[in-house]
Structure 1
Amino acid sequence: MVHRPVHSANTPMSSTRVWLITGASSGFGCSLVSAVLARGDRVIATSRSLQPIQNLEATSDNLRLLELDVTAGEEALKSKMKEAVAIWGRIDVLVNNAGSCHLGILEEGGSALVRRQYEVNVFGLLDVTTACLPHMRAQNEGTIVVLGSRSAWTCETIGLGAYGSSKAAVHALAETMSVELAQFNIRVLLVQPSAFRTKMVRTADNYDTSNPIEAYDGTREDNLKSYADRDGKQIGDPDKAMDAVVDVVRGEGAARGKPWPGYFLLGKEADRDVRAKCKIMTDHLDEWGDVVKSVDFDS
């Protein structure tokens, strides 16, 4: 992001912050709840249903649970956000973690697959954020954490079109929010993890095979096997990743003394793939630069 807000990563924070974390039932969300509580902050852990997070209830006096479906729509989410704010009187950090992963070949899945993916990852995220922002603006401070993905940089991958494009849209929204919200002392952190050992991707459940096209049979079979082979073998540790996110938000540990990053990539694969994509684009500009720059009106 071009914008750098007034805060630095090591800006001293008040002794206790209130975090609202969506999608807290598993994966990054569950890891983040534990990491935040370990620093002495308060957490409102949310999930579409309370049943998957009931086990968290007795873990800390600083934890409250709230049923929140990110796809419930703007008005319902505004009401939920008022309920959340009433718990401790404020929300200092909103973490947009809730998400889904729908894989599939684009011609087979079509727009129905993409719409299903965007409903949670894009529209749900935006509705939750806009429901929270009036409260943060009234406080004249806040932090929005957006869970993007390395996949936005690697959409040249069979089966990844719906999910990867939803995360690319999320990245664009976060970048715009970072400049629109700076005037209200609200920071945005766009987290972009690579493959971590969470339950986000379960190939048999997540891969769309509702409209098989014979021409893709071999491609689909190989693609399904490829995703299945990776499941459970990802090198990323979600607990370490979310501990690093808390460092950045609180300006502690690895973030102490560093400026607010805006972007926060996580994982060796993210480092590798983002560098590779940047090289593809700079190589294109080097090769085609004379044409790229030749199409404006003559001065």
Structure 2
Amino acid sequence: MSTAQLVWLITGASQGFGRRLVHAALSRGDKVIATSRSIEKVHDLVQQAAARSEVLAVLTLDVTSERRVIEDVVDEAVRIWGRIDVLVNNAGYGYPGLVEEGGTDWIRLQFETNFFGLMEVTNAVLPHMRSKRKGTLVNMGSRSAWKPEIPFIGPYSASKAAVHAITETLSVELAQFGIHVLLVEPGGFLTEGAYGYPPFQDPAKMIPDYDEMRTQAASGFATIRQGIRGDPDKAMNALVDVVRGEGVAQGREWPGYLILGEDVEADIKRKMKKMESVLDTWSDVTRGVNLEP
């Protein structure tokens, strides 16, 4: 259990998981540097920071900015309390759209925030953590990396699958520096922006062959919020527990993964069963491609 006061840097704090994580960390007595692409969207946090400057600071940070800009913001964050103990890469977007219609421009737009933005912030923070030989890196993944077989979520799923892969690699590379790495894999949670982004709808790029699928997918996205059961406040309190080694994490080893929600649990088990079936059914082919002895 951590009894020390931690300093958190949280991206995407204007709403959703980020906003709730700010309050969850503060409630444990920690210090928080909350960042948002638009300072207007966190005006209330700015006011709170003015009254609680000893534990809360707010900075403007667009994770798609140029590298030097991101590094400058991180350096400014470090100067506030002399360190960053926990980095939470929470900023992200889910742009729905059919893969062929959106094309690579739509995919790049998704990756710029969810993957490359995450990596730029991470690489700006890591030198500070390495110098102290301790820290915690938290990357927000998604159930969509386990269940991408749904029209409209291809670009988002791909960006989150990339986050999953790079986080697992970082967990190995950073262990030597005393830096813990946590991949958070949430299912559906009732946040303000959940399934709220408009789908790709460029009339000039609509492909008639996809008309029926597009209509059905758009209709499904319009109603999906009704079935969401995840409580984002509970989820972020569980995350703070794991980082601090208390509450639900008391006495447990560092998990590396934090899977949040019954839906993502079912998705992971389903994907594992699917892959096991393919391995079993095609084992003769899988094992039959070695060089002859």
Shorter-chain TM range is over 0.9
**Partner residue in 2 for 1:13:** 2
Question: Could you tell me how far 1:57 is from its partner in structure 2?
Answer: 3.0
**Partner residue in 2 for 1:43:** 32
* CA distance in structure 2 between the aligned counterparts of 1:200 and 1:170, rounded to whole angstroms: 20
**Partner residue in 1 for 2:231:** 237
Matches within 5 A, 1:24-43: 24-43=13-32
1:70 and 2:63 correspond: yes
Aligned length: 287
Native 8 Å contact 1:197 1:233 kept in 2: no
1:207 and 2:196 correspond: no
**Partner residue in 2 for 1:171:** 164
Identical positions, percent = 50
Amino acid paired to 1:26? Q
Question: Could you tell me how far 1:201 is from its partner in structure 2?
Answer: 3.7
* TM-score where L is the length of structure 1: 0.94
Native 8 Å contact 2:98 2:214 kept in 1: yes
Question: Could you tell me how far 1:202 is from its partner in structure 2?
Answer: 4.3
* CA distance in structure 2 between the aligned counterparts of 1:262 and 1:133, rounded to whole angstroms: 18
* TM-score where L is the length of structure 2: 0.95
**Partner residue in 2 for 1:140:** 133
**Partner residue in 2 for 1:123:** 116
Question: Could you tell me how far 1:93 is from its partner in structure 2?
Answer: 0.0
* CA distance in structure 2 between the aligned counterparts of 1:57 and 1:240, rounded to whole angstroms: 24
Question: Could you tell me how far 1:140 is from its partner in structure 2?
Answer: 0.8
**Partner residue in 1 for 2:182:** 189
1:89 and 2:82 correspond: yes
Native 8 Å contact 1:101 1:206 kept in 2: no
Native 8 Å contact 1:197 1:232 kept in 2: no
Amino acid paired to 2:87? L
Question: Could you tell me how far 1:296 is from its partner in structure 2?
Answer: 1.2
Native 8 Å contact 2:2 2:246 kept in 1: no
- RMSD value over aligned CA atoms? 1.1
**Partner residue in 1 for 2:273:** 279
Amino acid paired to 1:16? Q
* Deviation readout 1:68-118 (Å, 9 max, x if unpaired): 110012211111111000000000000000001111111100101100000
Of stretches 235-244 and 213-222 in structure 1, the one that deviates more from structure 2 is 213-222
Native 8 Å contact 1:248 1:254 kept in 2: yes
Of stretches 34-43 and 209-218 in structure 1, the one that deviates more from structure 2 is 209-218
Runs of 4+ in 1 over 6 A off after TM superposition: none
* Deviation readout 1:247-268 (Å, 9 max, x if unpaired): 0000000000110000111000
* CA distance in structure 2 between the aligned counterparts of 1:188 and 1:293, rounded to whole angstroms: 34
